[in-house]
Chain A
Amino acid sequence: MTHYILEIAQALLALLLAPLLVGFVRWVKARLQNRRGAPPWLPYFELAKLFGKEVVMSNNASWLFRFAPTIVFASALAVTFLVPLIAAPLPFDNVGDLLVVVYLLLLGTFFLALAGLDPGTAFGGMGASREMTVAAIAEPTIALAIFGLALGAGSTNLGRIVTATLANPGVAISPGHLLAFAALFIVTLAETGRLPVDNPSTHLELTMIHEAMILEYSGRYLALIEWAAWLKLTIFFSLLANLFVPWGLATVLTPATLAIAVVTLIIKLAVLGLVVAVVETRVAKLRLFRVPELLGLSFVLALLAVTSSFLLR
């Protein structure tokens, strides 16, 4: 019973933290642009507003357009049950491992791309084709980067990877882990639509990737998609934080360890948010045709991570 409560609490935590994390990144970026910026909790108000608004839909939109937001949101939510956010090993570890996580995320991307194509607008199709270009290179890299860790831990189970690192802290600075971290960080930027791959605050349709697919959405559908995108950012950040720096995660379930786990999770997410905001201030958006080069680099890093984990095993 406590297992189910833990899993549900973890998913709720991710749902509640996701808007705050995005608001925090925006706030840091505003400060770095010498602006006062919106308060970090603004995304909560945005969601509340969108859920209360009317839905306007294109006449050409089919059932797919209406169902896609639910699928996108549900797939992101399902992943939060499988990723170790506050505790490891998780009770649901045997339900799905790394591969399930990667393909659940890809399922959301796939349906979002279909929904982008569905209303038949020029920008939707453009965004969908770009998103698939990025996803085709990014998704295998996520799997490969985490395989680098799995090889050392002897399991593709995310919870086992964490416990293996906790049992043997030295591996956290092994070349395999460091290379895999670099690879996963680049992929995180690409998959969550941050600079230099995509610009989350762009208004220029020609440069959009994620935004271009959701231009036709409004009201509660838009809220679900936005929330799912923010959830994805939280998931990727927690993967980066908890797989590579697992300290703070609760291995035994007592109120004290869980409280420490929640606080360390928030600190880790804030540090990563700060890093992403600084990176976004520093770098310009890459030309679209150079994005595969960057992702190719991250793939090579992931490959090297797997090789070195294998050789140094």
Chain B
Amino acid sequence: MPALFQKIFKTGIVTEPLGPDEAEIIQLVRQVDEKSKRLLGRALAIREVDAGSCNGCEIEITGLTGPVYDSERFGIHFVASPRHADMLLVTGPVTRNMEVPLRKTYEATPDPKLVVAVGDCAQTCGVFKGSYAVVGSVDKVIPVNVFVPGCPPEPADILRGILAALDRMPGK
């Protein structure tokens, strides 16, 4: 047990500060801070929906909750139920089997809600385009506020997408 805590204290905080080269993020965070403070009270609950992704995007999203990117410092956290969520983070091309669950998840999310589609597949279906198992992109099934391109997008990009969606959030 002492070894564990020794290690914890030796490592220190590894969350990456928003460096000067990421001026855009800082600016976004500042803008969003103002607006999301008003709309969502600075606490954003996200439900992740895998609509048929290869799980590459999921690994990057998991990175978002880790110590390095630490989305929790912005009050962004992941929840276990769409009913607790303010935002749906959808990945992958929508497969035939996930079409109805995705729509139901959207309906189960209380207003005001946002949808961020993560990854190239969510926008264009990527390599799965034209497959008989795929219905199409996410915006064919539910309304999407922001697309985050990339295969897979980096956690910082996903964070940027989430913040951009907050910024574009319609007023009450």
A-side residues, CB < 8 A to B, are 30-38, 42, 45-46, 48-49, 52-56, 202-205, 208, 211, 215-219, 222, 278, 281-282
Contact = CB atoms under 8 A, between A and B. Distances in A.
A38 B73 contact: yes
B138 to A, nearest CB: 21
Contacts of B86: 49, 53
Given A36-B15, A56-B83, 9 more contacts: A31-B13, A34-B12, A34-B67, A36-B70, A42-B75, A49-B86, A55-B110, A56-B109, A211-B80
Contacts of B108: 56
Is the contact region of chain A dominated by helix, strand, or loop, or is it mixed?
loop
Interface string B70-85: 1011010111110110
Contacts of A36: 13, 15, 70, 72-73
Interface string B144-156: 0000000000000
25 contacts: A33-B8, A33-B67, A35-B13, A35-B66, A35-B67, A35-B70, A36-B13, A36-B15, A37-B70, A37-B73, A38-B77, A45-B41, A49-B43, A49-B86, A52-B41, A54-B111, A54-B112, A56-B109, A56-B110, A202-B80, A203-B78, A203-B80, A217-B83, A218-B83, A278-B5
Task: Report the contact-size class of chain B (Cβ under 8 Å from the partner).
Answer: 20 to 34
Nearest to A44: B41
Interface centre among A46, A54, A217, A281 (most CB of B within 10 A): A46
A56 B70 CA distance: 30
B127 interface: no
A191 B14 CA distance: 33
A31 B5 CA distance: 11
B41 A215 contact: no
B4 interface: yes
Interface of B: 1, 4-5, 8, 11-15, 37, 40-43, 66-67, 70, 72-73, 75, 77-81, 83-84, 86, 107-112
A34 B42 CA distance: 22
Given A35-B13, A36-B15, A52-B41, A218 B72 contact: no
B11 A34 contact: yes
A281 B84 CA distance: 25
A218 B108 CA distance: 9
A205 B12 contact: no
A129 to B, nearest CB: 18
B79 A203 contact: yes
